[in-house]
């Protein structure tokens, strides 16, 4: 298989991610089938794609004629057998539940042609396990787009245990062809790269707030202005959605209990349906369901040292490097493009002093257990 053999793409699931993946694929010239279980879901998805293309026309990034051509390349289809006919690549973006994915792959396998390659947009489920449900584990890969796919430049590419190398090459090429930047996550680990760093941080920020008894805006200001994050951690969790954070937590923790120290507050917010911006309340309260920034200031940042938050981020990042999941360069690229970090994470570690970061982890480990034990890469880190 090679990238040149990919012409027709079928995207399964037309929700938050699927419609965006369909759009960027059509913009790259592919012929796309978008499949969902109800026509009304597809109608909504096609409306969103039309709206998104019209915005690009408005901003003069596309001509109306090109927008029309792109839109015409996407065919919405409910019937699965018809949707899979002739597909060179399937990209699955159905809800994040292993039982559903199992059902979907069994169904897909009964209709897909032998040539069809499989990719899943899962954020947290094991690629190897999903691949094993299919007739083609050697031609199955994780393609983790970020939300919204139309805007976010990063795609993590995750081979499963049996994925062959030409499939990896095809996936890396495909991501570039759709105008995104791929980062190879060499091992199928819980959380892949970005979520492995991001999700545990949300929990740590809550622990920090409890331990240090400071307002959320103080921690968030420090994270933003002293750790070069695009926004605070509580703010980022609200923006992402506490449902996404909670489900990723459960999945990642069940795969590897060392990756996260769960704080019950996340589940509590999820159970209360305080899901962040989209419900008007998460860690913070919002006036409506429109995107709203929290007022964070440098002055407030100066009142708090976020070294524990930094230490947890650096420790998970170090684990990824020392376990051969990604290179340091790819780690920094993923955090920049996927989380919006304005400065390299390990440059911030140097600013705080690597030995101070390690000492913070050792102190926390002595009080709260082995989750905080510093990774050897960090212990040896000299910049």
Ligand X SMILES: NC(=O)c1ccc[n+]([C@@H]2O[C@H](COP(=O)([O-])OP(=O)(O)OC[C@H]3O[C@@H](n4cnc5c(N)ncnc54)[C@H](O)[C@@H]3O)[C@@H](O)[C@H]2O)c1
| Contacts with ligand X, residue ranges (CB under 6 A) | 12-18, 35-37, 41, 93-96, 104, 121-123, 145-147, 244
Q: Which of 14, 195, 221, 274 is the catalytic position?
A: 195
Partners of 184 in the β-ladder: 157
For residue 275, the minimal CB distance to ligand X (Å) is: 12
Q: Whose Cβ is closer to ligand X: residue 134's or residue 147's?
A: 147
Q: Whose Cβ is closer to ligand X: residue 17's or residue 133's?
A: 17
Nearest residue to ligand X on Cβ basis: 15
Is position 14 annotated as part of the catalytic site? no
Question: Which tokens is 310 given?
Answer: 């930094």
For residue 383, the minimal CB distance to ligand X (Å) is: 33
Q: Which of 19, 52, 144, 221 is the catalytic position?
A: 144
Is position 31 annotated as part of the catalytic site? no
Assess contact for 199 and 249: CB atoms under 8 A. yes
CA dist 132 to 79, 156, 157, 280, Å?
25, 20, 18, 40
Is position 315 annotated as part of the catalytic site? no
Q: Whose Cβ is closer to ligand X: residue 192's or residue 229's?
A: 192
Q: Whose Cβ is closer to ligand X: residue 3's or residue 78's?
A: 78
**Is the preceding peptide bond at 148 cis, omega within 30 degrees of 0?**
yes
Question: Which tokens is 289 given?
Answer: 């369901």
For residue 191, the minimal CB distance to ligand X (Å) is: 12
Is position 144 annotated as part of the catalytic site? yes
Measured CA angle at 279 (ends 274, 283), to 5 deg: 45
Give the span between the Cα atoms of 159 and 101, in whole angstroms: 17
Q: Which of 25, 120, 121, 123 is the catalytic position?
A: 123
Q: Whose Cβ is closer to ligand X: residue 149's or residue 306's?
A: 149
Phi, psi of 184 (to 5 degrees): -85, 120
In sign, the C-alpha dihedral spanning 284, 288, 291, 294 is negative
Question: Which tokens is 306 given?
Answer: 């976020």
One-letter-per-residue 3-state SS of 252-282: HHHHCHHHCCCCHHHHHHHHCCCCEHHHCEC
Cβ contacts of 376 within 8 Å, gap of 6 or more: 318, 322
For residue 291, the minimal CB distance to ligand X (Å) is: 14
Which positions are catalytic? 123, 144, 156, 195
């Amino acid at each position: 298989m090679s990238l040149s053999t990919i012409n027709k793409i079928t995207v399964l699931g037309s929700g938050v991610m699927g419609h965006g993946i369909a759009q960027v694929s059509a913009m790259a010239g592919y012929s796309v089938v978008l499949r969902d279980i109800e026509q009304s879901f597809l109608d909504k998805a096609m409306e969103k794609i039309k709206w998104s293309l019209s915005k690009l026309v408005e901003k003069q990034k596309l001509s109306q004629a090109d927008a029309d051509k792109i839109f015409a390349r996407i065919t919405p289809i409910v019937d699965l057998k018809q949707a899979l006919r002739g597909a060179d690549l399937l990209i699955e973006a159905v809800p994040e539940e292993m039982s559903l994915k199992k059902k979907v792959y069994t169904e897909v396998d009964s209709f897909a042609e032998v040539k069809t390659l499989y990719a899943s947009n899962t954020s947290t489920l094991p690629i190897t396990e999903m691949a094993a449900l299919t007739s083609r584990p050697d031609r199955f890969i994780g393609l983790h787009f970020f939300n919204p796919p139309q805007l976010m430049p990063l795609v993590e590419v995750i081979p499963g245990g049996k994925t062959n190398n030409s499939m990896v090459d095809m996936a890396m090429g495909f991501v570039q062809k759709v105008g995104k930047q791929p980062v190879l996550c060499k091992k199928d680990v819980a959380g892949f790269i970005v979520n492995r760093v991001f999700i545990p941080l949300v929990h740590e920020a809550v622990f920090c707030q409890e331990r240090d008894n400071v307002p959320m805006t103080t921690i968030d200001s420090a994270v933003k202005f002293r750790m070069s994050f695009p926004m605070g951690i509580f703010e980022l969790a609200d923006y992402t959605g506490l449902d996404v954070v909670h489900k990723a937590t459960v999945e990642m923790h069940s795969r590897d209990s060392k990756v996260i120290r769960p704080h019950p507050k996340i589940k509590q917010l999820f159970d209360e349906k305080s899901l962040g911006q989209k419900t008007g309340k998460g860690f913070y309260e919002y006036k409506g369901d429109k995107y709203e920034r929290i007022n964070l200031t440098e002055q407030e940042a100066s009142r708090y040292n976020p070294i524990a938050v930094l230490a947890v981020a650096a420790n998970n990042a170090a684990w990824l490097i020392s376990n051969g999941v990604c290179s340091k360069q790819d780690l920094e690229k993923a955090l920049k493009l996927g989380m919006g970090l304005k400065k390299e994470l390990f440059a911030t570690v140097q600013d705080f002093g690597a030995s101070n970061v390690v000492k913070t982890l050792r102190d926390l480990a002595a009080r709260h257990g082995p989750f905080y034990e510093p990774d050897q890469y960090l212990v040896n880190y000299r910049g």
